[in-house]
């Protein structure tokens, strides 16, 4: 039962990340998921909107597994984990040559004003993402300067990555993201308490 649903979800996720939500028609999804017709599709989803919501959830779950999970690795130094996470974002984008951008950022830009249902769900996604970074930052507190604002810094990291991914997509040039990743690591390293005791600043040489 759930198998065909996932197949549809995956097909839709690909289409939506390529063309956006509005420009992806239900018929496109049906064709791509090799369903027999609309009845078949509407047997699994009550509307295109519901499909969109579930695609968003699924995209976040994938991102949580393949990206955010790194932030919680218990055996690695927290700030090192943050660098690894940034590397993972770059790696994820590399898979599509930087052409797809962020599934969250794309939907956000497309629907934030037009569709409140999506807006709140995307907001929740960013919040969950930010909270992961915040708890990592909390964990790294002993290494960080006293005045580090975890809320602000976590937002900055996400904004920089989302902006970088967007520009990469527009320029069709992965090196944009790579360069910004380097700078972002440097910015994070700027917040460590004792730079000489922290070898992270070698990352940008």
Partner DNA sequence: TAACAATAGGACCGTACGGTCCAATACGCA
Partner DNA sequence: TGCGTATTGGACCGTACGGTCCTATTGTTA
- Interacting residues with a copy of itself (CB under 8 A): 18-20, 22-23, 99-101, 105-106, 108-114, 119, 122-123, 126, 149, 151-153, 155-156, 158-164, 166-167, 169-172, 176, 179-180, 182-184, 186-187, 190
Cβ nearer to a copy of itself, comparing 91 with 170: 170
DSSP labels for the chain?
Answer: -HHHHHHHHHHHHHHHHHH-STT--HHHHHHHTT-SSHHHHHHH-S-HHHHHHHHHHHHHHHHHHHTGGGGG-TTS-HHHHHHHHHHHHHHHHHHTTT-S--HHHHHHHHHTTT-HHHHHHHHHHHHHHHHHHHHHHHHTGGGB-TT--HHHHHHHHHHHHHHHHHHHHHHT-HHHHHHHHHHHHHHHHTTBS-GGG-GGGGGG-
| 182 binding partner (options a copy of itself, DNA, none; Cβ < 5 to 8 Å by kind) | a copy of itself
Q: How far is the CB of 5 from a copy of itself (least distance, A)?
A: 25
Q: Least distance to DNA from the beta carbon of 15, Å?
A: 11
Q: Which of 100, 91, 3 is nearest to 44 (CA)?
A: 3
31 binds DNA (CB under 7 A): no
81 binds, among DNA, a copy of itself, none (CB under 5 to 8 A by kind): none
Piece of 31-39, 93-101, 155-163, 181-189 that binds DNA (CB under 7 A): 31-39
Size of residue set near DNA by CB under 7 A = 19
* Residue 76 vs 182, nearer CB to a copy of itself: 182
101 binds, among DNA, a copy of itself, none (CB under 5 to 8 A by kind): a copy of itself
Tell which residue, 66, 105, 55, 61, has the closest CA to residue 89.
Answer: 66
- Residue 156 interacts with, from a copy of itself, DNA, none (CB under 5-8 Å by kind): a copy of itself
Residues that bind DNA (CB under 7 A): 1, 4, 24-28, 35-40, 42-43, 46-49
């Amino acid at each position: 039962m759930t198998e065909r649903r996932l197949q549809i979800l995956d097909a839709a996720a690909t289409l939506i990340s390529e063309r956006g939500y509005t420009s992806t028609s239900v018929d496109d999804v049906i064709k791509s998921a090799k369903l027999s017709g609309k009845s078949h599709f509407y047997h699994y989803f009550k509307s295109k909107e519901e499909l969109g919501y579930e695609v968003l959830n699924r995209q976040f779950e994938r991102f949580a597994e393949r990206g955010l999970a790194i932030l919680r690795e218990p055996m690695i130094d927290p700030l090192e984990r943050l660098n690894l996470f940034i590397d993972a974002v770059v790696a994820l984008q590399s898979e599509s040559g930087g052409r797809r951008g962020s599934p969250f950022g794309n939907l956000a830009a497309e629907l934030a004003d037009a569709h409140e249902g999506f807006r709140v769900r995307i907001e929740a996604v960013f919040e969950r993402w930010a909270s992961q970074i915040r708890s990592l930052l909390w964990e790294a507190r002993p290494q960080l300067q006293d005045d580090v604002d975890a809320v602000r810094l976590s937002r900055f990291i996400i904004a920089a990555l989302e902006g970088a991914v967007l520009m990469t997509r527009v320029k069709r040039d992965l090196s944009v993201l790579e360069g910004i990743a380097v700078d972002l690591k440097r910015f994070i390293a700027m917040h460590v308490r004792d730079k000489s005791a922290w070898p992270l600043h070698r990352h940008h040489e």
